Amino acid sequence: MAATLCILASSSKGNATAIAFDDTGRFILVDAGISPRRVREGLVRASAISPFQRLRAIFLTHLDTDHWAASWAAHLRRHPIPVIVRGEHADDAVAAGVPVGCVRVAGDEFRLGDSVIVRTVAVPHDDEGSTAYRFDGPDASIGHATDLGCVEADLVDTFTGIDLLNIESNYDEAMQRHSSRPEFLKQRIMGHQGHLSNDQCAHAVETLARGGSIAHVTLLHLSQECNTPQLAHDALARRAGSLVPSVAVAPPSTPTAPIRFSRNDSCNDSRKDSCNDAHDAHDAALLTAFSGKNGE
Ligand SMILES: [Zn+2]
């Protein structure tokens, strides 16, 4: 078995990440900031259908519109599945259109099904904060942190020992400072409750990778005005290039290649077709598959 993850969209215009913890076809989304149709199309485009047959739950980092697209409301009323939020976000979730019956309030640690342990960390972002998630599945531990103004000790503690890391690398500090944005916006973004700069992200990755466990990092949520993939990648390479074997930068609106990983498997590079049964999938499979059997 292996875990498979695919970043479907990653920017201030929409965020969604699909993760399958095994080969049963069940998967989760972290954030649903693009429509159900775009999730479906993104998985087809990534040729990533085989591990992503049946959506079992949605984990929301927070309720900003780039993380929760209102078009999911109607979809969830027809095909209800759990939508997981921290307690502080529960009212916002209902106000934003998440059906009340779907809302599940996450504690610090809980189980998803039999084989996945989920841990949540509150991270500073605007007034309501955001949520970072750690998923410990049977074959991989995955950390996902986006929309946070700084990396605090509890996030580092919680993410220690993960195999795959998805983390925001939002802006290049010089580009931000010299941008034409209004000063209040620059201060908000660069502040303690804003977003991570490339250097802050690289520092966090360096800290987390020192233990030697991280096999792959995907950089998320790059500002399209105040960052470039090259700058984000270079900042990480300078600080942690020798510690992280594999790095990808998520494009804003097209899916990454599916990353397949198993702690117990030598076939851990998604780009090796022989290791990636996702490429065997037929587009038609997804078109029927996604249409909504209930998850747990
Ligand atoms: Zn965002």
- Per-residue model confidence as pLDDT tens digits over 225-251: 999 999 999 999 999 999 999 999 999
Residue 25 Cα, ligand 1 centroid: separation in angstroms? 28
What would the two tokens of residue 1 be?
A: 């078995």
Residue 22 Cα, ligand 1 centroid: separation in angstroms? 28
Does 72 map to a domain?
yes
Domain count, the chain: 1
Residue 190 Cα, ligand 1 centroid: separation in angstroms? 14
Q: Which amino acid is at 218?
A: T
Instruction: Report helix, strand or coil for 39.
Output: helix
User: What is the CB neighbour count within 10 angstroms for residue 285?
Assistant: 17
B/e letters for 166-197, b = 16+ CB within 10 Å, e = fewer, are bbbbbbbbebbeebebeeeebeebbeebbbbb
Query: Residue 71 has what pLDDT?
Result: 96
Instruction: Give the end-to-end CA distance of the chain in Å, rounded to a whole number.
Output: 21
CB 296 within 8 Å of CB 82: yes
Average pLDDT, the chain: 89
Residue 173 Cα, ligand 1 centroid: separation in angstroms? 18
User: What is the CB neighbour count within 10 angstroms for residue 150?
Assistant: 17
pLDDT tens figures, 120-155: 999 999 999 999 999 999 999 999 999 999 999 999
Confidence tier at 266 by pLDDT (50, 70, 90): low
Residue 253 Cα, ligand 1 centroid: separation in angstroms? 13
Does 184 map to a domain?
yes
Residue 290 Cα, ligand 1 centroid: separation in angstroms? 25
CB 15 within 8 Å of CB 146: yes
Range of the domain at 246: 3-263
pLDDT tens figures, 147-190: 999 999 999 999 999 999 999 999 999 999 999 999 999 999 99
Residue 1 Cα, ligand 1 centroid: separation in angstroms? 32
Longest CA–CA separation in the chain, Å: 51
Residue 12 Cα, ligand 1 centroid: separation in angstroms? 5
Residue 148 Cα, ligand 1 centroid: separation in angstroms? 9
Does 276 map to a domain?
no
Does 191 map to a domain?
yes
Query: Domain holding 251: CATH number?
Result: 3.60.15.10
Residue 67 Cα, ligand 1 centroid: separation in angstroms? 6
Residue 64 Cα, ligand 1 centroid: separation in angstroms? 7
Does 85 map to a domain?
yes
Q: What is the bridge-based pairing of β-strands 54-59 and 83-86?
A: parallel
Q: What is the bridge-based pairing of β-strands 103-106 and 83-86?
A: parallel
Does 178 map to a domain?
yes
What is the pTM for the complete model shown?
A: 0.89
CB 246 within 8 Å of CB 276: no
Does 296 map to a domain?
no
Does 283 map to a domain?
no
pLDDT tens figures, 70-117: 999 999 999 999 999 999 999 999 999 999 999 999 999 999 999 999
Degrees, nearest 5: CA angle 67-113-40: 40
Question: Which residue stretches of 96-228 are H helix?
Answer: 153-159, 173-178, 183-190, 198-209
Residue 280 Cα, ligand 1 centroid: separation in angstroms? 33
